[in-house]
Structure 1
Amino acid sequence: MSNFIPYGRQNINQADIDAVVEVLESAFLTQGPAIERFEEVVAKYSGAKFAVAVTSATAALHISCQALGLGKGDRLWTSPNTFVASANCGLYCGAEVDFVDIDPTTYNLCTTQLKEKLEKASANGQLPKVIVPVHFAGQSCQMEAISALSQSYGIKIIEDASHSIGSSYQSKPVGSCTYSDLTVFSFHPVKIITSGEGGMVLTNDAGLYQKLIRLRTHGITRDVTLMHGEPDGPWSYQQLELGYNYRMTDIQAALGASQMDRLEKFIDRRRFLAHRYNQLLSHLPIQLPLQHKDCESSWHLYVIRLRLPELSKTHRQIFEELRQANIGVNLHYIPVHTQPYYTDLGFQHGDFPETEKYYSEAISIPLHYGLTLEQQDYIVDTLKAIVR
């Protein structure tokens, strides 16, 4: 097995290419009808009323925070086991950021830790304005409990579902916003579906939707009913707030909408491969990813944890040997609070021990639609040889 096996990879077919070419040959490369089509198909699939396509999930998180009025003097809490964007979005708005440690079995934000931290924050007058639960690896957080806690303290919720289009929680699609104000998806090439780069915000709140639409386009409106005073003419637009150029192109939207046609196929394959990993790796000195009974994961990632006391090699040695065998393992994630930028803000190693313990043992092994059974067998056999 000489070819490198990536941990994640997009799958592009002729229908995707045709959809992009159709846009390239059309009158609109951006700000055209393909955007609305993509938004409609994702909203319908997820069960949300509104969707707003943007340049990335990072942009989606940013304008979600801004739409909720997060600003200087406010606080945002999220998981330390995530990509830095889940926390950075709060800093972009001038807010303070803090973290809630993870559950040791799901690797998602721990509801017990959240409850205890909220009680202390309430007593100290330091409650967050926004909580960002991250659906790690495609498995939803325990949103009913998080929502109940947040409502009791008047806190807004943004679900970071960058990993989780196609997942379900309590038999409802992630993205329905049943237990949140907003949900964010990512369409980066390693995710379940791709638009190249891209993201989307979903909500059931019409007011938030209108604000998101403005924020992605410089804070500008062409809606006469929202303008200050009489418009100068049919060409008029007004900037009502400070927004950004976070517009997705029609080229990206066409690819994303075409990919949605195969979303269920992508998910089914990932679930099959994850189940097969569970069977093939069950007798090794590793902890396999556990699924909560309320969740059905989209399996963006398949993460194993090494039982290091039972092994003669270090975490790094095993990781490097897998890479040397052309297996593109990765590690999701370096705890955000240990990044130099965040330690400069006052966070320290040891602040969130469950996340740090997870990081010291975790390896993401390849899982994507195009992974063949031959490749999966090679990964399993190589891992067995390395850890034994």
Structure 2
Amino acid sequence: MDNFNTKKMRAIAFYTFLTAGGVLLLYFSLQNLPTVLEQAGQIWDIVMTVVSPLILGFVIAYLLNPAILFYEKLMHKTCPRLKYKKLRAFSVVEAVLSFLILLTLVISLLVFSVTRELQVGDLDGLLLIATNFMEDLNKFYEASMQWLADMNLESPNVQTLFQDISDTVYGALNNVISGFIGSLGSISGNFAVFVFGLVMSIYMMLDGRHITDYLKRVADVLFQARTNENIREVLSDLHHAFFGYLRGQLLDVLFMIIAVSIALQVTGCRFAIGIGLLAGLGNLIPYLGPFIGYGLTTLVCLIYGDYSTLAVSLPVLLVIQLIDGNIIGPKLLGKSISVPPLLIILFLIAGGAVGGILGMLLAVPVGGFITIRFRKWLDRNESNEE
């Protein structure tokens, strides 16, 4: 009883301190709002610089945990007398090496696909093709305006429309090129974040059990048993929504990369492996992968004048997409949380508005978690009414 009262008093003191601190912080923030916002932005940048490797490390450790468990079982069968600490260390090393080999293979395939098509000796030919493509666009514009004049449909509004479309296309191409050049300048910084994140993930994977036990002890001290049960239930639902979705989605990405790359190689499309990689990775965001596949295939074939290849490649991509959407996808994602298509679109719009590409990547698992919690809330209320 005394232990219960002590824990209850600690919880009351903790919440009281938290509430008072929050009220004081809100009061002083409103008194100096412009300065606070400026300082908050600077602090946020510093925090994200420090926290980004930690978040990346957690994500890597979380995704590699099934591989670690697989290697643990395999090594336990071959070396049953091996102590757990050494067994865990060997399993972590094997999982990290497998991850790095797979990542290196993907990057190598992408670089090989691009460099093979953009050989130095073929650079002049590529520039000539690009020049001819732009000339064809100009000829199409002039022919369209002449046709409108012949049909007595010529008007300043139509000319303005064509000019706006042209400016939009050129502006989009300029933004893509500028973004690509800017991303090259941030490669070193992103590489440093990746290295630190990988190192942190290794420590997390090695000491995962100790970290989990420590957090459980802290939660037992701060919260009551019922609160701890609710927290663990929420964490379990998060794991089910995120891991179930990501596991199935990553396998689906692997299938699409292989299928699209092989199919476009057979049809003779240039940059087949690169298009396959980008289309497959685009499948991490629902409904985006097909647009990337169709768009890049169409763009490459039009630039190089491979119209017959385009006529064959697009139906092949459609067949692959139908197989993936109706057979492969449901099989891989069947055990994960199911979210209605309309809700998926709404979650994607909300995720894109809040967090851009990252928000869209997390939109479906977050939406799945919300769906799980809503269904449980609905079930509890229905059972209480009965």
Task: Please indicate, yes or no, whether the TM-score normalized by the shorter chain is above 0.5.
Answer: no
Q: Higher RCO, 1 or 2 (CA under 8 Å, sep at least 6)?
A: 1
Greater percentage in strand: 1
- Which structure: larger Rg? 2
Greater percentage in helix: 2
Using structure 2 for the length normalisation, give the TM-score.
Answer: 0.22
Using structure 1 for the length normalisation, give the TM-score.
Answer: 0.22
